[in-house]
């Protein structure tokens, strides 16, 4: 990606379509992910186009998520042994191999770390009355959204925390964090001039969603290959993976 050679171009590229960087015009995805692009540009600026630097960067992002996840589970009442066992399983599970091995999977790593940081800050705000926790949680949540769109699910975890972890309910706090979604939406509308073309017809999308859930469930319980395997599967009809998706 020649756009990574100059930081000025990196900044300009980061706020465009994630799959149209560097003039490659690979596809029109409509994906808005400036954070991993900026991190890639900074990596090249400091270390050059070094595979080792990118791999170590990915590894540090992943290990940071795991350590922060361990701290969060302990705060939520898990025993030290239980939390450590859970995070060790998450850390070394074969499903993580793709995110660590591919530069193009850095959005997952950035979003994961920022989302867990957001939850940790939020829990400190609620459990320890740490006032800065709420704005920091919102900032971290925005960073997660600007890393990968799926991070929007973090707000659902915050709602679950309110329902299960605290003596009182403060629904205004998740709504305040929801302001990050509004900021993300405005940035996306202002900066992004492409729309997702869509790989599947509307009638096929329910099957695709269920089949992908089924593939991920299979990889979680019986990891046999990288999860990019779904790129080579037919996902548009009812099949065994559809059943696994329904079960999940």
Q: How far from each other are the two terminal CA atoms of the chain, in whole angstroms?
A: 38
Would you state the pLDDT for residue 197? 62
pLDDT tens for each residue of 163-176: 999 989 998 888 88
pLDDT tens for each residue of 24-75: 555 667 789 999 999 999 999 999 999 999 999 999 999 999 999 999 999 9
Would you state the pLDDT for residue 243? 83
Tokens 């090249």 appear where?
44
Would you state the pLDDT for residue 18? 84
Q: What is the 3-class SS of 176-208, one letter each residue? A: HHHHHHHHHHHHHHHHCCCCCCCCCCCCCHHHH
Q: Confidence band (pLDDT; 50, 70, 90) for 22?
A: low
Which of the pair, 149 or 206, is modelled with greater confidence? 149
Whether this prediction's pTM lies above 0.75 is answered by yes
């Amino acid at each position: 990606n020649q756009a990574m050679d100059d930081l000025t171009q990196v900044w300009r590229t980061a706020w465009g379509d994630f799959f149209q960087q560097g003039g490659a015009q690979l596809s029109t995805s409509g994906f808005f992910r400036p954070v991993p692009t900026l991190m890639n540009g900074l990596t090249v600026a400091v270390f050059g186009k070094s595979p080792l630097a990118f791999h170590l960067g990915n590894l540090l992002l992943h290990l940071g998520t795991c350590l922060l996840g361990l701290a969060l589970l302990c705060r939520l009442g898990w025993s030290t042994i239980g939390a450590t066992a859970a995070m060790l399983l998450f850390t070394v599970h074969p499903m993580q191999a793709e995110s660590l091995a591919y530069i193009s999977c850095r959005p997952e790593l950035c979003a994961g770390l920022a989302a867990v940081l957001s939850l940790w800050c939020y829990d400190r705000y609620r459990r320890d009355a740490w006032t800065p926790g709420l704005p920091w949680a919102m900032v971290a949540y925005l960073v997660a959204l600007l890393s990968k769109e799926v991070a929007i699910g973090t707000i659902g975890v915050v709602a679950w925390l309110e329902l299960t972890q605290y003596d009182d309910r403060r629904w205004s706090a998740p709504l305040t964090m929801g302001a990050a979604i509004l900021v993300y939406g405005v940035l996306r509308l202002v900066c992004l001039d492409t729309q997702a073309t869509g790989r599947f017809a509307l009638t096929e999308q329910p099957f695709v969603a269920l089949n992908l859930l089924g593939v991920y469930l299979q990889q979680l319980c019986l990891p046999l290959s990288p999860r990019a395997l779904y790129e080579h599967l037919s996902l548009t009809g009812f099949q065994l993976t559809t059943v696994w998706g329904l079960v999940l």
